[in-house]
Amino acid sequence: MTIEKQLTETLANVPKAVACGVVDMASGLVLGIKTTGNQPEEVFDLLGAATKDMFEGDNVTAIEDIFKKARGVKDPDLRYFQEIVVFSNNLVHYFARTKDNPAVVFCVLSPANVNIGLFLLKSRAEAQKITV
């Protein structure tokens, strides 16, 4: 299934979803994005870089390295941060590494007044389905 079709299904399955996308962490590029049309275009240009910073920025990587050292983990590719939820003034943003490829992050946005439990349940289910 194409990324576009997967994202179309996400918009249909996640309550009140207004946008979703997929980011390649290796390059920081957006591999696909789908929106209901309410999101400013400028945000799309920054989505890849911002997502990469949240999951693999210098400080995040430093924290992960401290945990690895403290726990005796030798795998340099292991990533601790798998999911991040951000609440902004008007939206809730869900970001997750995909099960199929942890170097790919899936994101979905809904209005802040969404039922958060249902939003997270459905978003997590969609993240598990994404294949790239």
At 93-124, the pLDDT tens digits run 999 999 989 999 999 999 999 999 999 999 99
The number of domains in the chain is 1
For residue 9, the domain's CATH number is: 3.30.450.30
SS3 37: coil
- pLDDT tens digits, 42-96: 887 789 999 999 999 999 999 999 999 999 998 878 888 999 999 999 999 999 9
Give residue 1's pLDDT band: very low, low, confident or very high (50, 70, 90): confident
Q: Can you tell me the distance from the alpha carbon of 58 to that of 66, in angstroms, rounded to the nearest whole number?
A: 12
The length of the chain in residues reads 132
Q: Can you tell me the distance from the alpha carbon of 57 to that of 20, in angstroms, rounded to the nearest whole number?
A: 22
Domain range holding 82? 3-129
Spatial contact of 131 and 100, defined as CB atoms under 8 Å apart: yes
SS3 48: helix
